[in-house]
A and B are shown apart, each in its own frame.
Chain A
Amino acid sequence: MRYAILLLDAPYTSQAVHSALRFTRALLAKGHVVDGVFFYHDGVHNAARLAAPPQDEPHLVDAWAELAREHAVPLQVCIAAALRRGLLDEQEAARHGKQGCSVEPPFELTGLGQLVDLGLRCDRLITFGP
């Protein structure tokens, strides 16, 4: 089946991100297609490039990036929700006159229209939230 994941919670806050990661990995292991993971609401914090958890804890941001690189799963971040919360890629940082950026590939800033498209073209959209 063709799946999409919608993640609405920030990392290191609740179980939602761990569950979403494990569920996504389980789908891929079963041979399903994951057409994209969309980060919205507080979920945009999963794209924080500067996240630096203690070394003996799981690095959730890196875990998404690894998953994307291994399985070519697009990681789409709502641009409006991200900008409000200080999550800017290089292009947006330049546009807003900010030094440095807090989002980098494989995470990509995109519009909410992408969430609707993703949800409608997949067989299932599974939401993880607080």
Chain B
Amino acid sequence: MQDETRHGDLLVILRHAPHGSSWLKEGLDVALVAAAFDRRVTLLFMGEGITALLEGQQAGPLGQKGTAPTLAMLEMYDIDSLLVEKRGMESLGLSDEQFMLPVQGVDADRIAELLASHALVLNF
């Protein structure tokens, strides 16, 4: 887990659940490409996007690849700053023991700081 004061180049905000649309997948693709080009990337899971982190996901019946394998690769890309909106977790009734990766909860004030401190913010 990276320390809280380190500010990255790119903040990717993920707000969509894994299977209903390509938002999550296409958001993660940007994060991976940026990391592959040695950019420091922070991922912020908000709202339904938080469900992407749930353990035990499968590819689903629609022939998609699913996003869990991509999340499992994040460490290989040195993306270790994984943040989750606390309020979203509460409203969905989720706790971090249910997640497949170690994450750090952030409140609204911290999210405001993150938006201000990253050079580039992309919202998916």
Contacts and interface: CB of A to CB of B under 8 A. Distances in A.
Given A41-B22, A81-B26, A113 B120 contact: no
A6 B33 contact: no
A81 B26 CA distance: 8
A6 B121 CA distance: 11
Interface in B68-124: 119-120, 122-124
State which size class the interface on A falls in: 10 to 19
A94 to B, nearest CB: 25
A41 B23 contact: yes
Given A40-B26, A41-B22, A120-B9, A113 B119 contact: no
Contacts of A111: 33
Contact of B34 (A40, A116, A125): A116
Interface of A: 6, 40-41, 80-81, 111-113, 115-117, 119-120, 125, 127, 129
